[in-house]
Structure formats: C-alpha cells, structure tokens
Amino acid sequence: MNNGCNRWQIISRLHLILSAIIICFMISATGLVASAAEMPEIQRRGYITVAVKDNLPLLGFKDADGKLQGLEIDLAKRLAADLLGKADAVKLQPVSNRDRLSVVFNHKVDIAIARVTATESRSRLVSFSVPYYMDGTYLITKDATVQQINDLAKRKIAVLNNSSTIAEVRYYIPKAELVGVNSYQEAQAAIENNSVAAFAADGSLLSGWVREHPQYRLLPTKLSTAPLSVVMPKGLQYDELRREINEAIARYIAQGWLKERIEYWGLVNSQ
C-alpha cells in the first residue's frame, strides 16, 4: 500500500514539475510577461507597455546598433512622455503580425502601435485610436516611361498573392496583366529583371524602398486608404487611457508633429 501511495506521489510531483516547466517555457518563448493596465495603474507603476514591429523599415525596425527606430517608435515614446512625463517610460515589445491584436485583447501589453489598420471586424475585439497615419496602396516602379497609372495599361504589375491589392489594381487599371508574387523580395527581383513594370503594395512599406533605392518612384495616385491606429483594450475601465491617447494624437496632428515625423522618415505623406 505504501509503495502504491509513494508511486502516485512521485507521479503527481513529476506532473507538477512538468507543468511548471511547460508554463515557464511558454512565457519565455513569447516574452510577453507584462499585462494591460488601467490609466491609474500605468501612472502608479511609471511605464506603459507597447507592442511594436521591429522589421518594418520607417515604421518600426532595428537600426545598425539594434535599437528600435521609426515613426511608430517615435509615437510610442511621445505618448509615454505626455502620459507619464518621460519619453523612456515605455517598454517596447516586438510582436509578429498575427499577435498584434491578441496581445492587447489578452492583456499582455497596454497598447499596440504595430501597423494595424482599423477595421470594423477588428473593432469587435479591440478599440482603435484616431488614425496617426493614413496608409494605402500605391504603385512603385523604376521604369522612366511610367509616370502615372494609365501608363501601366497592358503592362505587367506584380501583386502579392491573395491580397486585397489585386482587386484595387484591377479596378483602376483593368487592362494591366497581374503577376502574383509571394513576397516583397520576389516583387523587387521581378522589377529588377524587368519582368514586371511595377509593384502594387502598401505605401508605408514601399516608401522604405524609395529611401534605400533612389531609382524607385511611387506613382502619385493612391489606390486605397488604410488608417493606421493605436490598438487599445475594450472595457469601461480603460476609458481614461483611450481618451488620453486620442486627445494626444489629435494634438500631434493639429500641431504638425506627426507630419514632421512622417516627412523625417520619408513616408509618403497622406495626412
């Protein structure tokens, strides 16, 4: 009998240890150990946690020294300065695209500034601030004969497979021949070897190409508009946080600070 009890005690103990190891592994793998907080709690602890991107040049990326830079990083620091009195009162948490909403919805961070487009379906899960940048679909080319979208009629245009860009290009340039690609790298290779005349994608990302490669140009016509907003948690307890962020962004727009930062980073200015 004692041997049986000891055996079950050992098994139970091993089960608890294994469970603890799994939980620790999950926490360390995600790196998301913070949690969303109401405004009084954020002020009490002295910092705000913000999910950001670290691989989107001009919006959120790591520089040569490994420091996070970009328009969205500037915005996170400016909000920290206004809400808490110090630009460094912010903890930046890089996230993947698929986690940008869930980290806020699941209260892993306070807010996300990670190139998120405000949509009706997403607003069922989270709240959105007033837009801080109006992104949208543009066409990029290095072909000197292409000056406007009409010049691309009956020409080949690269588009990302299964993207909403396909319908937008078909609407504006119905006679163009669309060539599906799986990545931005594939699209750039197609432009470089002249197998396509242009590539249609988000202006915020294409602006990075222009900054790095002066031979590229963005055509002036914008095919669609996508408002980028701060992702915030739902719930009455977060009303003060949402109000302060919305009022701050409205000031940045009115005072010209956002326009200045957009121009500084070389983003196409559509404010």
Render pLDDT for 181-203 as a digit per residue (tens, 0 to 9). 999 999 999 999 999 999 999 99
CATH architecture of 37-133+227-263: 3-Layer(aba) Sandwich (3.40)
CATH of the domain spanning 137-217: 3.40.190.10
**DSSP SS3 for 149:** helix
Residue in this structure with the two tokens 């915030």, named with its chain if needed: 232
The reported pLDDT for the residue numbered 22 is 35
Residue 98's pLDDT band, with cuts at 50, 70 and 90, is very high
As a 3-state breakdown, the chain gives helix, strand, coil percent values, each rounded to 5, of 45, 20, 35
The reported pLDDT for the residue numbered 132 is 97
Render pLDDT for 211-270 as a digit per residue (tens, 0 to 9). 888 899 999 999 999 999 999 999 999 999 999 999 999 999 999 999 999 999 999 876
Render pLDDT for 74-91 as a digit per residue (tens, 0 to 9). 999 999 999 999 999 999
Where along the chain do its domains lie?
Answer: 37-133+227-263, 137-217
**DSSP SS3 for 38:** coil
Q: In CATH terms, are 37-133+227-263 and 137-217 the same topology?
A: yes
In the predicted structure, residue 171 carries a pLDDT above the cut 90:
yes
Which pTM does this prediction carry? 0.81
Render pLDDT for 4-37 as a digit per residue (tens, 0 to 9). 444 434 433 433 333 333 333 333 333 333 445 6
| Nearest in space to 139 (alpha carbons), one of 129, 130, 149 | 149
The reported pLDDT for the residue numbered 263 is 94
The reported pLDDT for the residue numbered 271 is 52
